[in-house]
């Protein structure tokens, strides 16, 4: 078991935060499979991400298949990542469940295993209003006051908009140090309403735009692309930091545009809603096509995806891998 750390703060959340999938064995799509996690690949990828220079790791969200793993699989995965990372960067494990008590139980277990925090969405069986969503976070922070939280603010996954009233209220919970954030249209008011006590982390391709809105606070981003080849994400972090110091944002913008080109086929019909319906299979096929890691097949029931949608993910993965290779070659 890793030694417990002091509760992280918003100031500890900077740079490039990679989101890992849960590597799957070849038979993971078969409901008869009792243990589907490829722990060897898990350890290899976690170590490789740290060695590549990422600033933190998030796991067990949507394409981390937190919803389709057994508890035994989830616990083994968390232990493997904690051991592989060995305290070199923060690791936040997903503990979203269908109710408050189960979430708290999982939070306490992964805390004792040695994670630095949790990535946590709201229970999703019944559509929540703001009072319910806020009370959920109040309850889990009361139960686990020594666990840092990255709020998993995905409106499609959790059937809740994570709107302005939400950020205004949860900003008073010091355990919520960051958020996996998607609502770029509402970023400026959400920054103000959260009193900048929460690091609102956009997707890699949105990081440039976020930093131009608030360069002093928007200093971290999340990326699933890092497991398609970490070079673009790491360079983006470095160019953004360089731009903050020099005031010249041209290089950062140019790389952002190149990253954006890899996303052209990722979202079916350009729709995030449609993408969210097949998120897990699209992302995992993207990762496998890129070739930096073996994400493996999807776990049931989310392994059923139309082939044209999968093809868009494959192309996106190949495009990211080409960009990574170009950057390695100095281009």
186, 167 contact by CB (below 8 A): no
Tell me which of 74, 77, 137, 152 is the catalytic residue.
Answer: 152
125, 98 contact by CB (below 8 A): yes
Determine whether 206 is exposed, middle or buried from the number of CB atoms within 10 Å of its CB (0-12, 13-18, 19+). Answer: buried
Tell me which of 74, 77, 137, 180 is the catalytic residue.
Answer: 180
User: Does 195 qualify as catalytic in the annotation?
Assistant: no
Tell which phi-psi region holds residue 97, choosing left (phi > 0), alpha (psi between -120 and 50) or beta: beta
Beta strand extents in the chain (DSSP E only):
15-20, 56-59, 91-94, 117-120, 148-152, 176-180, 199-201, 220-223
20 SS3 class: strand
Determine whether 271 is exposed, middle or buried from the number of CB atoms within 10 Å of its CB (0-12, 13-18, 19+). Answer: exposed
User: Does 263 qualify as catalytic in the annotation?
Assistant: no
Residue ranges in 100-230 assigned as alpha helix (H)? 100-113, 130-143, 155-158, 164-170, 187-193, 207-213
The CA distance from 113 to 156, in Å, is: 30
Is the backbone peptide bond immediately before 301 cis, with ω within 30 degrees of 0?
yes
Q: Which residues form the catalytic set?
A: 152, 180
């Amino acid at each position: 078991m890793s030694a417990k750390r002091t509760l992280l703060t918003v100031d500890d959340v900077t740079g490039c935060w990679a989101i890992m999938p849960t590597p799957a064995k070849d038979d993971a799509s078969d409901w008869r499979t009792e243990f589907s996690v490829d722990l060897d690949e898990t350890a290899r990828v976690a170590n490789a991400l740290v060695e590549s220079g990422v600033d933190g790791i998030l796991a067990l969200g949507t394409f981390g298949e937190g919803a389709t793993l057994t508890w035994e699989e989830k616990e083994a995965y968390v232990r493997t990542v904690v051991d592989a990372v060995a305290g070199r960067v923060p690791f936040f494990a997903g503990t979203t469940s269908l109710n408050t008590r189960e979430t708290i139980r999982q939070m306490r277990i992964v805390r004792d295993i040695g994670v630095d925090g949790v990535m946590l969405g709201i229970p999703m069986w019944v559509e929540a209003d703001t009072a319910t969503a806020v009370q959920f976070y109040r309850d889990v922070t009361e139960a686990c006051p020594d666990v840092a939280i990255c709020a998993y603010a995905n409106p499609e996954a959790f059937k809740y908009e994570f709107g302005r009233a939400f950020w205004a209220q949860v900003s008073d919970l010091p355990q919520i140090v960051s958020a996996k954030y998607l609502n770029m249209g509402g970023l400026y008011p959400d920054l103000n309403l959260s009193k900048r006590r929460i690091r609102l982390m956009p997707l890699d391709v949105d990081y440039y735009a976020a930093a131009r809105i608030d360069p002093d606070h928007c200093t971290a981003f999340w990326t699933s692309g890092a497991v398609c080849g970490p070079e673009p994400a790491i360079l983006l972090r470095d160019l953004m930091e360089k731009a903050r110091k020099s005031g010249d944002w041209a290089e950062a913008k140019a790389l952002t545009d190149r990253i954006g080109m890899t996303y052209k086929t990722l979202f079916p019909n350009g729709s995030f809603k449609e993408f969210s319906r097949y998120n897990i299979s699209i992302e995992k096929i993207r990762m496998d096509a890129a070739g930096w890691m073996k994400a493996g097949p999807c776990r049931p029931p989310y392994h059923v995806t139309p082939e044209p949608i999968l093809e868009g993910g494959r192309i996106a993965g190949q495009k990211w891998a080409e960009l990574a290779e170009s950057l390695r070659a100095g281009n």
